[in-house]
Amino acid sequence: MVRVTLPYHLRTLAHAEAEVTLEVSNPVTQRSVLDALESRYPMLRGAIRDHDTQQRRAFLRFFACEEDLSHESPDALLPEAVASGKEPFIVIGAIAGG
Amino acid sequence: MSSVRVLVGTRKGAFILTSDGKREKWEVSGPHFAGWEMYHLKGSPSDPNRIYASQTSGWFGQIVQRSDDGGKTWHQPGTPAGQPPEPGPPKSASNKFAYDAAAAPLTTHQWYDGTQHPWEFKRVWHLEPSLTDSDTVYAGVEDAAIFRSTDGGENWQELPGLRGHGTGPKWQPGAGGMCLHTIILDPSNPKRMWIAISAAGAFRTDDGGKSWKPINRGLKSQYIPDPNAEIGHCVHHIAMNPKRPGVLFMQKHWDVMRSDDAGDNWKEVSGNLPTDFGFVIDVHAHEPETIYVLPIKSDSEHFVHEGKLRVFRSKSGGNEWEPLTKGLPQKDCYVNVLRDAMAVDSLDKCGIYFGTTGGQVYASADAGDSWNPIVRDLPAVLSVEVQTLK
């Protein structure tokens, strides 16, 4: 199981806890994790990635294992610790604005 | 007994204010969608329990919310809360506003510096439910375009004839963005609709949204290269009494205007207003020549004139205006009232409501003669709508 941590406003949209667990089949990548997340919580479609381009929204970042993975290829393998559920895949909102 | 429900959108959530027909005691519900910018909420005239809301964020984009029980509970259309999704590809995308580039190729519009800039969807400014079908609703968006949903907000399709009108490269953003902020449906003619864009001007369709024509003759804007141009006017808001379709009142950037021929021609009716800059304008529910504006000092100083919060009323359709001050602060007040933040109910006497950037929502239960704050300390108010419930 893959663990995903969501920022506050996405939790309220999804009616979910801060951390959700998802079944993700191999390979475990940003794309497969986000596909699984949006499949389980369809109200998040478009709120993390653009509907058509699937590009990450500009003010969101992806972290795991103390690394910023935001600019990695969406099809790159995530760290083994994320795939095994030892570490969460973290979706975080940029600290900007008021 | 009749009652009223006031729908308030703010910078940090939505609030619902309810009262009986006396409009003296109020219950406040909210914040709904705490922390989100709620640009607009509006109820369906054919089913008052159906309310649509535009929820938006620079981080997470556009969300459309819907209530089917008068604002007690909400959900994103097509994705009911708490229910696991059905297997297979999604059947709805209530937050997807894709321009119809196949029908009207995406052009550019004028940017602040005069260069051309790509068309980019940013948010929904205004939601206008159909007068007759609660599942049909229109959305005015930034960058300017009009969308329609016929399935209760689950899916949205652009009416591309407006953006494809051909003048798009001359449209430009106002200070708040290039937004389509006003949608008026004609109760006497389902094919006719009016919209307004900052800063392009007013447009009308007579064929259900297939084609549109600019209706800006008579507008004069000194801040654009040709003050009498067909396109480029910063229209802030338009109002119409549904009992008298075709008579329109406009608050332009500067100037209060009226049209007696469905927008084909406009004339200025600013008259004795202390300043004719402003955002809101509305019409009395039962007296179609009684109109309301709230003058703002200037486009450089977006607060009320002389530190006094004054609604101005004309009972003669413009030109002759009287200040309405009873119950409103008359010193040291420096709030603004944004374009969608005034509304009227249809009780007798007509109720008038407006919300300020200081977080106050004021109500008058006597057509503006006197005012009381319903709430004083909300986040900055973006929009106010009223439902009159039987």
Could you tell me the pLDDT band of residue B307, with boundaries at 50, 70 and 90? very high
Could you tell me the pLDDT band of residue B319, with boundaries at 50, 70 and 90? very high
Could you tell me the pLDDT band of residue A94, with boundaries at 50, 70 and 90? confident
């009016």: which residue's tokens? B194
Q: H helices within B113-152, ranges in order?
A: none
Check CB contact under 8 Å for B59 and A94: yes
pLDDT, mean of residues A35-40: 93
**Of B145, B373, B195, B176, nearest in space to B279 by CA:** B176
3-state helix, strand, coil in chain A (%, to 5): 25, 25, 50
Write the pLDDT tens digit of every residue in B40-75. 999 999 999 999 999 999 999 999 999 999 999 999
Say yes or no to pLDDT of B77 above 90. Answer: yes
pLDDT, mean of residues B279-289: 98
Task: Identify the closest residue of chain B to A59 by CA–CA distance.
Answer: B59
Say yes or no to pLDDT of A98 above 60. Answer: no
Choice among A52-66, B60-74, B88-102, B335-349 with the minimum mean pLDDT: B88-102
Could you tell me the pLDDT band of residue B84, with boundaries at 50, 70 and 90? low
Bridge partners (DSSP) listed for residue A56: A49
pLDDT of residue B390: 84
Structure tokens at B34: 């705490």
Could you tell me the pLDDT band of residue B83, with boundaries at 50, 70 and 90? low
Start-to-end Cα distance in chain B: 7
**DSSP code for A17:** -
């005239």: which residue's tokens? B45
> Mean of the per-residue pLDDT values for chain B?
95
Could you tell me the pLDDT band of residue B309, with boundaries at 50, 70 and 90? very high
Please check whether residue A82 touches B, CB under 8 A.
no
- Whether the CB-CB separation of B362 and B372 falls below 8 Å is answered with yes
Q: Point out the residue among A9, A48, A93 whose CB comes nearest to the CB of B36.
A: A9
Say yes or no to pLDDT of B353 above 60. Answer: yes
Q: How far apart are CA B152 and CA B77, in angstroms?
A: 7
Q: How far apart are CA B234 and CA B226, in angstroms?
A: 13
The number of beta carbons lying within 10 Å of the beta carbon of residue A47 is 24
Q: How far apart are CA A81 and CA B135, in angstroms?
A: 47
User: How many residues in total does chain B contain?
Assistant: 390
pLDDT of residue A95: 77
pLDDT of residue B127: 98
Task: Identify the closest residue of chain A to B94 by CA–CA distance.
Answer: A43
pLDDT of residue B225: 87
**HEC per residue, B241-292:** CCCCCCCEEEEECECEEEECCCCCCCEECCCCCCCCEEEEEEECCCCCCCEE
B113: Cβ contacts below 8 Å, ≥ 6 apart: none
Q: How far apart are CA B184 and CA B68, in angstroms?
A: 23
Under an 8 Å CB criterion, which residues of B touch A? 33-36, 57-63, 76, 78-79, 81-82, 84-85, 90, 93, 95-96, 98
Write the pLDDT tens digit of every residue in B161-211. 999 999 999 999 988 899 999 999 999 999 999 999 999 999 999 999 999
Q: Point out the residue among A13, A51, A60 whose CB comes nearest to the CB of B93.
A: A51
Q: How far apart are CA B341 and CA A28, in angstroms?
A: 48
**A98 Cα to chain B: minimum distance (Å):** 10
Write the pLDDT tens digit of every residue in B198-253. 999 999 999 999 999 999 999 999 888 899 999 999 999 999 999 999 999 999 99
Angle at B181 between CA B177 and CA B183, to 5 degrees: 155
Bridge partners (DSSP) listed for residue A71: none
pLDDT of residue B91: 73
Write the pLDDT tens digit of every residue in B13-45. 999 999 999 999 999 999 999 999 999 999 999
pLDDT, mean of residues B373-387: 98
B297: Cβ contacts below 8 Å, ≥ 6 apart: B275, B277, B303, B304, B305, B306
- Whether the CB-CB separation of B159 and B103 falls below 8 Å is answered with no
Say yes or no to pLDDT of B90 above 90. Answer: no
**Of B57, B7, B44, nearest in space to B29 by CA:** B7
Please check whether residue A48 touches B, CB under 8 A.
yes
Say yes or no to pLDDT of A96 above 90. Answer: no
Could you tell me the pLDDT band of residue B339, with boundaries at 50, 70 and 90? very high
pTM of the model: 0.96
pLDDT, mean of residues B85-104: 83
> Mean of the per-residue pLDDT values for chain A?
94
Domains along the sequence of chain A with CATH: 2-93 (3.10.20.30)
Dihedral of the alpha carbons of A42, A48, A51, A52, in degrees to the nearest 10: -140
- State the pairing for strand pair A89-93/A2-5: parallel
